[in-house]
Structure 1
Amino acid sequence: MRHILPLTLLLAAPAQACETALLLAIDVSGSIDRGEYMLQISGLHDALRDPEIAEILIRDQVALSVMQWSGTNRQSMVMPWQRILSPDALNRFATTAQTLPRAFDGSDTAVGDAVTYALQQFAQVSDCKRHIIDISGDGPENAGTNVARARTAATTQGVQINAIAIEDMGLSAPTTSFYKNWVITRDAFVMTARGLDDYPRTLRAKILRELIKPTG
């Protein structure tokens, strides 16, 4: 027989500490067409609904948020911070992510501005032990604040920046090299998606890697 705790006990139970605050920063610059945008948000939905990821999100009471970014002064928190405290909370977040309207169209790629804007959001989740920006992009910076300065600010603030580099099919990897050399922080990582079709698989692997507590 299943036992259900009285509501008063549930409300009195001490909240667990938030392990990770994870901000997902999605590229919606001019090089991302409508189909590619839809693939990104559906990939995010599927990753959040993955059983292994879902278990960690709820267990560690992870704080999630989503921003979209493109050119200079074009950044938007499309999903504010949400503590994932239950399966219902996760389902609501994933469902909303799947139907997100696109915030910007036809603009440049201001990676430094995106990182700077993302850093300002972590004051709202200061109790979380780890702060991570998960940024995706399909090209190097061509506008806005220099991303190297933004990376220095992230390091000073104790925020880790990881990246998904979306590359064309083939062997060349200019976007991966850009993110590796100029964007990610020390001890962070870049994962490469070969075309947008590979993005959902890469995003799942990346989020899982980010949520696993570091050892040593």
Structure 2
Amino acid sequence: MLEIMSLLACLACAEAAPVPSAPNTLAVDVELVLAVDISLSMDETEFALQRAGYVEALRHADFIQAVRSGHTGRIALAYFEWAGTVRDDAVIGWQIIDSAQSANSFADKLAARPFRSFRGTSISSALAFGAELFDGTNFASERSVIDISGDGPNNIGPPVTVTRDAAIAKGIVINGLPILIKPS
């Protein structure tokens, strides 16, 4: 959990140059997508660790301080759960995080989600879905980041390298967060 909190804090406080906003856009320090594995290989303990880590990080005063210390004092955050595919009901859409209140609101949405699990582990589909979330946002940022967590190898869909390379070509940074409590 501390690793997740540390990573979120680092991403939030990373010194990026201010981005001039075009009309109808909102400047943020980073656009961050949290991509969370809910495949059948994730047991309730691993799932609870992921969930608790993100909720705790979002509620932590150091995270809020890090967000507020950026050039714009805000980030854009989205979340989705993935397995073999990504379901429409597994997405928490973009939300601006600029205060303890907005971070707690996002954390509340996360904490309220039921534990669900589905077949397959398609890291490639998750990366493709995450990369598409950045398309057409009304945010202006220097950094677009996908934090993808999981506990197993890609076993459905195209090779991970194809979607990884496509995301990187769009300027997206990908952080892998392995959940390795129990062997899958």
Fold agreement, TM-score > 0.5? yes
RMSD of aligned alpha carbons:
2.3
CA contact (8 A) 2:64 2:98 kept: no
State the distance in 2 between where 1:134 and 1:48 align: 14
Greater RCO (CA < 8 Å, at least 6 residues apart) = 2
SS at match of 1:167: coil
- The answer to which structure has the higher helix fraction is 1
Residue 120 of structure 1 pairs with residue 132 of structure 2: yes
- Looking at structure 2, the residues matched to 112 and 167 of structure 1 have their Cα atoms a distance apart, in angstroms, of 19
Aligned residue runs from structure 1 range 32-181, under 5 A: 32-59=42-69, 60-71=73-84, 73-76=85-88, 77-102=90-115, 104-123=116-135, 124-168=137-181
For residue 174 of structure 2, give the secondary structure of its aligned residue in structure 1: strand
- CA distance in 2 between counterparts of 1:136 and 1:70 reads 11
- Matches of 1:131 and 1:34, distance apart in 2: 30
The answer as to whether partners of 1:21 and 1:125 remain within 8 angstroms in 2 is no
- Report deviation, 1:39: 2.6
Alignment TM-score, normalising by the size of structure 1: 0.65
State the distance in 2 between where 1:36 and 1:165 align.
Answer: 10
Letter in 2 for 1:114: A
TM-score w.r.t. length of structure 2: 0.76
Residue 56 of structure 1 deviates from its aligned partner by 1.9
CA contact (8 A) 2:40 2:120 kept: yes
Q: Determine what percentage of the aligned residue pairs are the same residue.
A: 32
Q: Which of structures 1 and 2 has the bigger CA Rg? A: 1
Query: How much does 1:165 deviate?
Result: 1.2
1:30: how far off? 0.5
10, 27, 52: which one aligns with 1:17? 27
Give distance in 2, aligned partners of 1:52 and 1:88: 14
The number of residues matched between the two structures is 155
Which AA in structure 1 matches 2:120? D
C-alpha distance in structure 2 between counterparts of 1:90 and 1:39, whole Å: 19
Unaligned runs of 5+ in 2: 1-24
Q: Distance in 1 between matches of 2:98 and 2:55?
A: 17
The runs of 4+ residues in structure 1 deviating greater than 6 Å are: none
Superposed CA offset, 1:46-92 (max 9, x none): 01112211112244301111110001x33445210101122211111
- After TM superposition, the structure 1 stretch with the greater mean CA deviation from structure 2, 160-169 or 106-115, is 160-169
